[in-house]
Amino acid sequence: MTGTTTTRMTYSQALNDALRREMAADDRVVVLGEDVAHYGGIFSVTRGLLDEFGADRVLDTPISENGIVGGAIGMAMSGLRPVVEIMYTDFLCLALDTIANGVAAFPFAFNGQVSMPIVVRTQGGAGINAGPQHSKSLEAWTAHLPGLHTVMPSSPADAKGLLTAALRSDEPVVLVEHKLLYRSEGEVPEGDHLVPLGTAEVVRPGRDATVLALSRMVPEALTAAEQLARQGLEVEVVDVRSLRPLDTATLAASARRTGRVVVAAESWVRYGPSAEIAAAVTELAFDDLRAPVVRLGSLGVPYPASPALEPSVLPNAAAIEHAVEQLVKRTA
Amino acid sequence: MTQTLQERRSPLPSSPDIDLFELYRRMRVLRRMDEVLAELVAERLITGPMHLGIGQEAAGIGATAALRPGDMVTATHRPHAQYVGLGLPLGRTFAEMMGRVDGQCGGRGGHMLIADAEHGLLAPSGIVGHSLLFAVGHGLAQKRAGQGAVTLCVTGDGAVNSGAFNESLNMAALWRLPVVVLVENNGYGLSVRLDRHSHQTELYRRAAGYGIPGEVVDGNDVEAVHQAVSAAVARARDGQGPVLVEALTFRNNGFSSSDRGGYRDPDEGAGVTDPLELAARRLRERGASVEELAEIDRLAAVEIDEAVAFAKASPWPDTEALFEYAAKWDEGARR
Ligand SMILES: Cc1ncc(C[n+]2csc(CCOP(=O)(O)OP(=O)(O)O)c2C)c(N)n1
Ligand SMILES: [Mg+2]
């Protein structure tokens, strides 16, 4: 379903492209959130949509996160397809009630009488010295809920493809963007472009070790793999991209091929998505693993604002490179 | 502390008869602070988001001037008026904003999370609505202690639509807590104009729904704010419960350092009273000389220059503490 020609665009533009196309194709799609209409979203993702689709389809909301998602539940039950923007994943905390107790629960609990074609777009991650209330990665919280997809695009093409798939899905999706990726550029298929929910992708093949990476850690892992290639180590990089459902088949197949696995996710390590990924790979590929799965993530402290402190908390390409080297050494 | 603090400091907020000179001086320090902060952001000596309040000085300064030591303040992502109004040592405050070790929070909090227990600022928070919630707790503690202390809760026009506003106002009213809620109404919640986020744009009217007094003041008139908040504070100290004061003002800068603009009419600020100009005009009418006012301005600039110099000389925090902290919560933490 992927178009043949591509255009170079940013991650924000790719998201905007997906929204615009789906809104044009389906007038049940309604965008709502703080600052999304007149301003076009603080990361410019909804720019131009108000002019193109009008005020009854693009709504600036009050600062009422739980209210917005709660409203979206009603909209979905009444036949609309709401797309909610929650400005920071840190503020998604205020809407966890309606997400956990409504969005994720109702299609099952009401025995199929309702579906929840709701997309919650949010944005997380550190790296701009924004401090403890504007830097977190909390995708594990929504991925914990059965009945809800949680996806994290790492490239402009996947941003468009995953958002398009999310908008067409009758199941609810939380799409977590990364603040440092909005300006990243890449080739994006024109026209219809879907990345199926629930699929991982091998973005660089290799035989010596596997890095299972999420969101911004994917480009970091690719940088590490390039460095390691100079030392003759062929690292396979897999973009996990869907946290739930988790594409365990693709992840485990890579683990079996290389026997060495590093999971790189920006969130805190303990109880984070890397715990689930490591467990799944271990369960499925234990016999082929040459060492326990290694997890890389943020140090267990609230994100400090100081530019002198924040980098020490975050995983990066160098940390991935080091982890792979150590793993290979240990299992040579 | 790696440096001895030798900077000029604003006096503690104290007497209810602080005069217009002192209010003007505090506003001038605050204005200068924000102007210099804009430069420090441009020079990338401060990174991370930054929310200035140029044009809004009277609301915050007038309100904190109604407090006395022992009172509490909760604040928002735009908290510089509270930093100046409560007399925080500004060298440390600049150091915090620059991520340095001498900051009140050792560089961990950044510009909008400067807690200062000694000065009764517990705390500003970058999550819209938090200041209201914390104020309920302070109010309960103050009521129980029975010493007549009050809490000033600063919040914004955007924040009145958070669930926290309803929950807090009801609890504060229900339990007759000594809380004064100052709604700094600058006409926008981030980019969203007041009439696009609230149907009832006269926000003080909401107080009636909780059965508490609500009033509106010219938020650019520092004396008017000071008077209104002083009356509310006196009432709260007297055990008569919360009051909501709406201060109408205007934000004369972007909502933050990342504002792309384009959402408001460029002429919107044209007829708006600048709070410093208004106060200066009044002082002149009451007999102050041009030289006296110029001296206040000069001293304000000196105070800020000294604070910035202090901050620039402050070392970076050591990462060791991060690993020590993580060792408890994240056993086996990577180095
Ligand atoms: C719960 C929550 N939602 C959204 C935000 C993002 N945000 C920060 S400031 C702001 C606008 C607040 O408006 P207002 O209360 O009027 O304060 P002002 O910025 O005008 O001083 C928003 C939406 C946030 N920090 N917290
Ligand atoms: Mg406002």
pLDDT digits (tens, 9 = 90+) for A210-219: 999 999 999 9
Calculate ∠ Cα A77-A173-A280, nearest 5°: 135
Burial letters A299-325, b for 16+ CB under 10 A, else e: bbbbbbbbbbbbebbbbbbebbbebbb
For ligand 1, atom 8, name the residue with the nearest CA: B128
- For residue B155, the domain's CATH number is 3.40.50.970
Burial letters A110-134, b for 16+ CB under 10 A, else e: eeeeebbbbbbbbbbbbbbbbbbbb
**Mean pLDDT along residues A39-59:** 98
pLDDT at B16 (0 to 100): 55
Q: Which fold has domain A6-189?
A: Rossmann fold (3.40.50)
Disruptive mutation site among A135, A299, A316 for chain B (greatest number of B CBs within 10 Å): A299
Residue A274 with chain B: CB contacts under 8 Å = none
| Helix residue ranges, H only, B204-267 | 206-210, 222-237
Judging by DSSP bridges, how do beta strands A173-178 and A261-268 pair with one another?
unpaired
Examine residue B102 and state whether it is found in any structural domain, yes or no.
yes
Contact A133 B127 (CB under 8 A): yes
Residue A318 with chain B: CB contacts under 8 Å = none
Reduced to 3 states (helix: H, G, I; strand: E, B; else coil), residue A186 is strand
CA distances in angstroms from B49 to A130, A134, B97, listed in the order given: 6, 10, 10
Domain count, chain B: 1
Q: Are B252 and B269 in contact (CB under 8 A)?
A: yes
Write out the E strands in chain B: 72-75, 121-124, 151-156, 179-185, 188-189, 192-193, 214-218, 243-248
Q: Which residue has the tokens 């600039």?
A: B301
Cis geometry, peptide bond prior to residue B123 (ω within 30 degrees of 0): yes
pLDDT at B126 (0 to 100): 98
Closest B-chain CA to A95: B163
Q: Which residue has the tokens 């002192």?
A: B22
pLDDT at B15 (0 to 100): 55
Distance B84 CA to ligand 2 centre (A): 20
- Reading the block at residue A195, the tokens are 């990345």
The sign of the dihedral angle between the CA atoms of B317, B321, B325, B331 is positive
Calculate ∠ Cα A199-A183-A85, nearest 5°: 65
Interface TM-score (ipTM) > 0.95: yes
d(CA B128, CA B134) in angstroms, rounded, equals 12
Distance B158 CA to ligand 1 centre (A): 6
Disruptive mutation site among A35, A306, A320, A327 for chain B (greatest number of B CBs within 10 Å): A306
For ligand 1, atom 9, name the residue with the nearest CA: B190
pLDDT at B130 (0 to 100): 98
pLDDT at A325 (0 to 100): 98
d(CA B115, CA B93) in angstroms, rounded, equals 10
| Distance (Å) from the alpha carbon of B160 to chain A's nearest alpha carbon | 8
**Of the candidates B106, B192, B330, which has its C-beta nearest A60's C-beta?**
B192
Site to substitute for ligand 1 among B74, B82, B127, B128, most atoms within 8 A of C-beta: B128
Reduced to 3 states (helix: H, G, I; strand: E, B; else coil), residue B245 is strand
Any residues with Cβ below 6 Å from ligand 1, and which? A 34, 63, 65, 87, 91, 94; B 77-78, 126-129, 156-159, 186, 188-190, 255
Contact A269 B162 (CB under 8 A): no
| Distance (Å) from the alpha carbon of A251 to chain B's nearest alpha carbon | 24
Reduced to 3 states (helix: H, G, I; strand: E, B; else coil), residue A3 is coil
Examine residue B332 and state whether it is found in any structural domain, yes or no.
no
pLDDT at B334 (0 to 100): 59
Distance B251 CA to ligand 2 centre (A): 8
d(CA B45, CA B108) in angstroms, rounded, equals 16
Closest B-chain CA to A38: B263
d(CA A257, CA A234) in angstroms, rounded, equals 12
pLDDT(A2) > 70? no
Distance B159 CA to ligand 1 centre (A): 6
pLDDT(A232) > 90? yes
- Reading the block at residue A5, the tokens are 């020609």
Helix (H) or strand (E) holding A255: helix A248-258
Q: Residue B136: which residues within 8 A CB-CB, separation 6 or more? A: B168, B171, B172, B177, B179
Examine residue B335 and state whether it is found in any structural domain, yes or no.
no
Domain residue ranges of chain A, discontinuous segments joined by +: 6-189, 201-331
Contact B128 A67 (CB under 8 A): no
pLDDT, mean of each 10-residue run, chain B (335 residues): 40 65 98 98 97 98 97 98 98 98 98 97 98 98 98 98 98 98 98 98 98 98 98 98 98 96 92 97 98 98 98 98 92 65
3-state DSSP helix/strand/coil % of chain A, to nearest 5: 40, 20, 40
CA distances in angstroms from A115 to A20, A32, A296, B48, listed in the order given: 23, 19, 37, 40
- pLDDT tens readout for residues A92-104: 999 999 999 999 9
Q: Are A37 and A58 in contact (CB under 8 A)?
A: yes
Contact A300 B316 (CB under 8 A): no
Point out the ligand 1 atom lying closest to the alpha carbon of residue B127.
26
pLDDT band at A264 (very low <50, low <70, confident <90, very high): very high
DSSP structural state of residue B205: G
Strand partners, B74: B153
pLDDT(A236) > 90? yes
Closest A-chain CA to B190: A35
Spatial CA neighbour of A152 closest among A174, A135, A172, A168: A174
| Distance (Å) from the alpha carbon of A134 to chain B's nearest alpha carbon | 8
Closest A-chain CA to B326: A300
| Distance (Å) from the alpha carbon of B129 to chain A's nearest alpha carbon | 9
Task: Give residue B272's domain range.
Answer: 5-327
Q: Do domains A6-189 and A201-331 have the same CATH topology?
A: yes
Contact B159 A63 (CB under 8 A): yes
Domain A201-331 has CATH 3.40.50.920: yes
Contact A269 B198 (CB under 8 A): no
Judging by DSSP bridges, how do beta strands A149-151 and A242-244 pair with one another?
antiparallel
Point out the ligand 1 atom lying closest to the alpha carbon of residue A34.
23
Contact B197 A63 (CB under 8 A): yes
Within 10 A of A4 (CB to CB), how many other CB atoms are there? 7
pLDDT at B12 (0 to 100): 45
What is the three-state SS of A21-68?
HHHHHCCCEEEEECCCCCCCCCCCCCCCHHHHHCCCCEEECCCCHHHH
pLDDT band at A3 (very low <50, low <70, confident <90, very high): low
d(CA B45, CA B99) in angstroms, rounded, equals 9
Within 10 A of B36 (CB to CB), how many other CB atoms are there? 16
Spatial CA neighbour of A322 closest among A294, A302, A300: A294
d(CA B116, CA A183) in angstroms, rounded, equals 37
pLDDT at B332 (0 to 100): 67
Q: Are B129 and B108 in contact (CB under 8 A)?
A: no
